[in-house]
């Protein structure tokens, strides 16, 4: 089954038809009908995103692992939560996450709204126990009460886990990195990418990488809400399975408990991938050239030569976009007391 899928890629005609479909990153992201973007929601979402009081002991904010000032991840193999606890997987970047097909490595959240609710009550992440505890704490902070009221003026119950998730998702939808060399190239500036990067761009089409890494975010956002899942490794048995421990985490199987989902993963974005090491769900691969070699071997059964690897790396580097300057939020205070007195 795995082998057959892989072979299919090689019988595809090596035309430029798929290449012609490559698109620049939009400057705005789609929002769900029930959560249109507003300035008030975005501002509130930014406050919440940066507030470590959303963790039990006041040490971890969303930004701790999804660092907006950095590349949107944390540069570490796996996320780190309260009490220094290590998670099992790396922190996906929040930049351009609005264009992901689903959220989390295993796609267990269909939307950014759903995603935002998870880490809060995960014991090894923010450790808040229950969503009620989260909301109770927010209600103790007068600045949040007023900010929620402004952001959700029509909601009678305006501070809930759902309004909170909507605000965070609204902020996250503003995190877009346009104007990469690739974007400029595809929009007509043929000098924006180096000849080597252009070679790499053609190569990823020819050998089949973009059959999964498709769409504006190179992650298959045409399957948004459904999920663009693929086996990794597609072709088990290479030296990399053991070298980088590729098989021990069953991935999407954890969510569905279906055998056919074992070691399936949501296809991650290529946007800013060059600055977002280490690589893969477990962060075991430190450099981009090695990640390219691993993917070619495990997904396409190809041993790339050094020139091919470097061409693809050059292309992936051309996908590093512009990170817009942001102002820092001001986290609302609690006068004369604290909401995180204890461990």
Task: Report the catalytic residues.
Answer: 125
Nearer to its own copies, 109 or 314 (CB): 314
Q: DSSP letter string over 9-21? A: HHHS---SHHHHT
Nearer to its own copies, 7 or 69 (CB): 69
326 lies in the binding site for its own copies (CB under 8 A): yes
Question: Can you tell me whether residue 34 is helix, strand or coil?
Answer: coil
**Binding test (CB under 8 A) with its own copies, winner from 18, 24, 37, 76:** 76
- ∠158-81-252 over CA atoms, to 5°? 85
d(CA 129, CA 121): 5
DSSP 8-state symbol, 296:
H
313 lies in the binding site for its own copies (CB under 8 A): yes
d(CA 42, CA 38): 6
Spacing of C-alpha 292 from chain mean position: 19
For the chain, how big is the Rg over CA atoms in Å?
Answer: 21
**Binding test (CB under 8 A) with its own copies, winner from 74, 106, 183, 261:** 74
340 lies in the binding site for its own copies (CB under 8 A): yes
Considering the complex, what minimum distance in angstroms separates the CB of residue 286 from its own copies? 5
179 lies in the binding site for its own copies (CB under 8 A): no
Instruction: Select the span of 35-43, 48-56, 215-223, 245-253 touching its own copies (CB under 8 A).
Output: 48-56
Nearer to its own copies, 31 or 295 (CB): 295
Q: For 274, list phi and psi in degrees, rounded to 5.
A: -65, -25
d(CA 224, CA 144): 31
Q: Are 54 and 117 in contact (CB under 8 A)?
A: no
* Binding-residue pattern over the window 88 to 127 for its own copies, x denoting contact by CB under 8 A: ----------------------------------------
Q: According to CB under 8 A, which residues from 269 to 288 bind its own copies?
A: 274-275, 277-278, 283, 286-288
Considering the complex, what minimum distance in angstroms separates the CB of residue 193 from its own copies? 15
- Of the candidates 16, 101, 72, the residue with the CA atom closest to the CA atom of residue 324: 72
Phi-psi category of residue 270: left, alpha or beta, with phi > 0 → left and psi -120 to 50 → alpha:
alpha
Nearer to its own copies, 306 or 342 (CB): 342
Please report, as ranges, the residues that interact with its own copies according to CB under 8 A. 50, 52-53, 57-59, 64, 67-71, 74-77, 80, 82-86, 274-275, 277-278, 283, 286-289, 313, 317, 320, 323, 325-331, 333-343
């Amino acid at each position: 089954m795995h082998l057959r899928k892989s072979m299919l890629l090689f019988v595809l005609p090596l035309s430029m038809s798929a290449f012609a479909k490559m698109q620049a990153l939009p400057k705005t992201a789609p929002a769900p009908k029930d959560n249109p973007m507003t300035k008030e929601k975005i501002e509130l979402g930014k406050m919440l995103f940066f507030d470590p009081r959303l963790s039990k002991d006041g040490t971890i904010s969303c930004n701790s692992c999804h660092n907006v000032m950095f590349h949107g991840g944390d540069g570490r193999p796996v996320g780190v939560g309260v009490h220094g606890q290590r998670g099992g997987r790396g922190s996906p970047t929040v930049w351009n996450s609005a264009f992901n097909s689903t959220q989390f490595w295993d796609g267990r959240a269909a939307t950014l709204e759903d995603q935002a609710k998870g880490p809060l009550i995960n014991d090894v992440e923010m450790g808040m126990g229950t969503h009620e505890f989260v909301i109770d704490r927010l209600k103790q902070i007068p600045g949040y009460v007023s900010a929620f009221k402004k952001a959700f003026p029509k909601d009678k119950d305006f501070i809930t886990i759902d309004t909170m998730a909507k605000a965070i998702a609204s902020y996250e939808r503003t995190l877009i990195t346009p104007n990469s060399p690739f974007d400029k190239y595809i929009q007509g500036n043929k000098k924006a990418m180096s000849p080597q990067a252009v070679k790499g761009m053609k190569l990823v089409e020819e050998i089949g990488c973009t059959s999964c890494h498709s769409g504006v975010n190179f992650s298959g956002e045409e399957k948004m809400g459904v999920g663009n899942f693929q086996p990794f490794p597609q072709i088990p048995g290479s030296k990399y399975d053991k070298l980088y421990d590729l098989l021990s985490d069953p991935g999407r199987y954890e969510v569905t408990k279906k055998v056919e989902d074992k070691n399936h993963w949501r296809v991650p974005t290529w946007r800013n991938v060059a600055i977002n090491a280490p690589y893969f769900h477990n962060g075991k691969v430190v450099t981009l050239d090695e990640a390219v070699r691993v993917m070619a071997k495990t997904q396409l059964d190809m041993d790339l030569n050094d020139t091919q690897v470097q061409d693809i790396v050059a292309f992936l580097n051309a996908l590093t976009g512009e990170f817009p300057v942001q102002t820092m939020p001001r986290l609302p205070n609690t006068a004369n007391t604290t909401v995180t007195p204890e461990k």
